[in-house]
Amino acid sequence: MLAGKRILLIIGGGIAAYKALELIRRLKERGAGVTPVLTRAAEEFVSPLSAGALAGVRAYRHLFDLTDEAEMGHIELSRAADLLVVAPATADLLAKMAGGHADDLASTLLLATDKRVLVAPAMNVRMWLHPATQRNIATLRADGVLFAGPNEGDMACGEFGPGRMAEPLEIVAAVEAALGGGPLAGRHVIVTSGPTHEPIDPVRYIANRSSGAQGRALAAALRDLGARVTFVTGPASVPPPPGISVVAVETAVEMDEAVAAALPADVAIFAAAVADWRVANARDAKIKKDGSGKPPALTFTENPDILARVAGLKAGRPALVVGFAAETDDVVAHATAKRLRKGCDWIVANDVRPATGIMGGAENAVTLITAGGAEDWPRLPKDEVARRLAARIAETLG
């Protein structure tokens, strides 16, 4: 999918630099040409020799490497590429990029390029969360820099949180999406995911057991096929995948507004477990026991049905609108009726009785309901269900 594409890979100085070697292999496997550039700090972690050997070309290190007339100049080097990838992108490299510094080969190439830049940040969680880093990231995003990760997880420094570099295959997927490969290239897909939280008072809310795992997997699978994904997510327990545009919301009303703002789209997939009701008399102050022994009375009002609203759009309706149906009995009958009631094209139905372990679990057994009928899929990991669904979507759009 990356045949003939030229990637200039800038390797920053972080412990994740070892993954850059694997990244070179994965990019090469897909037919890309990779020119590695190491910062001085990167050389403390990986050698230019290994990077160059894997890439099959010389790895560049210093500005002086380019002073030889026979060599490419730095302007040419940065413009001969189709995409610049920075992995790992350390806090220092991101700060240099945001500030427009050019005091070594890597930063000079990044300033001189007229091509898109994709960064895969990797740093300690405190450094990632530091306001200075967050400011730099906001600047870079506004400049059009693309991000792959970081992921959340255990870190080499012993801490846990966001800051782990995205895995090489996730970066490859982001590279493919950035270069417009894949059957869904040029398509915009909206995916809703996770539960919603409906406030009762400032400290309490009503929620459900959705983890957001199926929505996350779907967004990643669609991204991998080249789609531009807008991921509207409630407070899920799994982090969103890298390489997509994330809109974090809390309530159904916020989700509805975020979806409306993300339109138009070619496809809209509603994997979120949206609360049907919100508390009409939610309080601004914490509800306290008043000593009367009487519990407070909550009254409810209906939330907007986001799926039905988008499926029923007269103008600007996505070509394919997909809903999910979590059912505990008569799955196919209920989901078939729901497809018609909501006016969507497909319903992905699943049985969420506690005994199935599906809600919040790693696997899913779904039935795909279309105008043509019901199709039972075997029980599969949620990632695999997502890949099959994404492939089916690509096939349907043609």
Our CB check for ligand C5P shows the closer of 230 and 303 to be 303
Q: Is 270 in the site for ligand C5P (CB under 6 A)?
A: yes
Please state whether 226 falls in left (phi above 0), alpha (psi between -120 and 50) or beta. left
Q: Is 267 in the site for ligand C5P (CB under 6 A)?
A: no
Cα–Cα nearest to 33, from 51, 65, 57, 62? 57
Among 87, 307, 349, 359, binds ligand C5P (CB under 6 A): 307
CB of 325 to ligand C5P, least distance (A): 5
CB 195 within 8 A of CB 273: yes
Q: Is 306 in the site for ligand C5P (CB under 6 A)?
A: yes
Our CB check for ligand C5P shows the closer of 292 and 301 to be 301
CB 226 within 8 A of CB 184: yes
Which one of 157, 261, 280, 340 is the catalytic residue? Answer: 157
CB of 390 to ligand C5P, least distance (A): 16
Length of the chain (residues): 398
Give CA separation, 78 vs 26, 208, 219, in Å: 21, 49, 31
Please state whether 180 falls in left (phi above 0), alpha (psi between -120 and 50) or beta. left
Question: What angle in degrees, to the nearest 10, is found between the helix axes of 131-142 and 91-99?
Answer: 50
Among 192, 211, 336, 364, binds ligand C5P (CB under 6 A): 192
38 strand-pairing partners? 11
Give CA separation, 161 vs 155, 156, 164, 194, 213, in Å: 8, 11, 8, 20, 18
Q: How far is 251 from 237, CA to CA, in rounded Å?
A: 15
Our CB check for ligand C5P shows the closer of 189 and 325 to be 325
Q: Is 325 in the site for ligand C5P (CB under 6 A)?
A: yes
Q: Is 213 in the site for ligand C5P (CB under 6 A)?
A: no
The two tokens of residue 384 are: 């695999």
Among 205, 231, 324, 346, binds ligand C5P (CB under 6 A): 324
Q: Is 231 in the site for ligand C5P (CB under 6 A)?
A: no
Q: Is 252 in the site for ligand C5P (CB under 6 A)?
A: yes
Q: Is 345 in the site for ligand C5P (CB under 6 A)?
A: no
Q: Is 336 in the site for ligand C5P (CB under 6 A)?
A: no
CB of 304 to ligand C5P, least distance (A): 6
Our CB check for ligand C5P shows the closer of 217 and 252 to be 252
From the list 11-19, 59-67, 104-112, 270-278, the region that binds ligand C5P by CB under 6 A is: 270-278
Rg (CA), the chain: 24
Active-site residue flag, 157: yes
Binding mask 347-366 for ligand C5P (x = CB under 6 A): --------------------
CB of 231 to ligand C5P, least distance (A): 13
Our CB check for ligand C5P shows the closer of 1 and 326 to be 326
Our CB check for ligand C5P shows the closer of 293 and 316 to be 316
Q: Is 214 in the site for ligand C5P (CB under 6 A)?
A: no
Our CB check for ligand C5P shows the closer of 92 and 198 to be 198
Among 274, 366, 390, 394, binds ligand C5P (CB under 6 A): 274
Cα–Cα nearest to 344, from 322, 372, 314, 367? 322
Q: Is 155 in the site for ligand C5P (CB under 6 A)?
A: no
Residues labelled catalytic: 157
Residues that bind ligand C5P (CB under 6 A): 192, 252, 270, 272, 274, 276, 303-307, 323-325
